[in-house]
Structure 1
Amino acid sequence: MTASKDLLRFIESSFRSVWALELLLVLKRDPRAWTEAELVSSMRASELVVSNALESLVSAGLISVDPTGAVYMPINDEVAVCVDQLEELYAARPDAVRRTIVSASGRSATAFADAFRLRKD
């Protein structure tokens, strides 16, 4: 399976880390309210990693978090279709998806660092 340009843009704009993708897929595959502690245990991740992933997924319109926990809840049907396509691509070509996420986050970090670079006038 090859990724369309739209799907690649969706991946780059929606996921700050592979952890966030993995967390989204956990929520999607088991549609119930997950507490942060359950996600930490299930994913064998730190509280900080899970907390950051939850925050970024809420911002991307992929999940909802309330006092009972986090649930998979895409903002609209178009986003849900993108997540379905991403899930298929990740199953078929996990390394390609991981590289896309890592390269996008690397570009963001470089752009942020460049903003603080001192320039000689």
Structure 2
Amino acid sequence: MDDSSEEIKKFILDKITSIEQISILVLLQQDPQKLWTTAKISEELRSADLAIEKRLEDLYSARVLNKPDSSEFSYSPTSEKIKSLVANLIEAYQRRPTWVIDLIYSRPIDAIQAFSEAFKIRREK
């Protein structure tokens, strides 16, 4: 695995939590000037508004999307490095989808485990 693959791997593990996010990136990066609403993306990808809204907020937090107002998004990475990582991610997904899918869904479950721990009923000693 070369250095760029390691960078993509780190980007996926740090910022990408679903295949749906990649689908959104593919869609939005085709026309970076276009503004997209959650509803329009949901319609285009045939997905639920709520799911798309969560993915958009995650990508916005990852500094990949711009949000000029509260209801529209556009593809606008905040740096050339992020723009390059997204392009390489999309290319990797097109060439080696299984590798990308495995990375996304085999991430450590620490957060899930911590969440479930919070709801465990503990016995008094």
TM-score, structure 2 as length reference:
0.82
Does the alignment pair 1:110 with 2:95?
no
Equivalent residue, structure 2, for 1:53: 55
- The structure with more helix, counted as a fraction of residues: 1
**Amino acid across the alignment from 1:65:** K
Residue 110 of structure 1, CA deviation: 3.1
Match of 1:25 in 2: 26
Residue identity over aligned pairs, in percent, reads 29
Task: Determine the structure 2 residue equivalent to 1:40.
Answer: 42
- In the alignment of these two chains, the number of paired residues is 121
> Aligned with 1:53: secondary structure?
helix
Greater RCO structure (CA 8 Å; 6+ sep): 1
* Partner residue in 2 for 1:80: 83
Tell me, in whole angstroms, the C-alpha distance in 2 between the residues paired with 1:14 and 1:107.
16
Q: Structure 1 unaligned runs (5+)?
A: none
1:104 is paired with a residue of what secondary structure? coil
CA RMSD of aligned residues (A): 2.4
Question: What runs of 5+ residues in structure 2 fail to find an aligned partner?
Answer: none
Cα displacement (A) at 1:108: 3.5
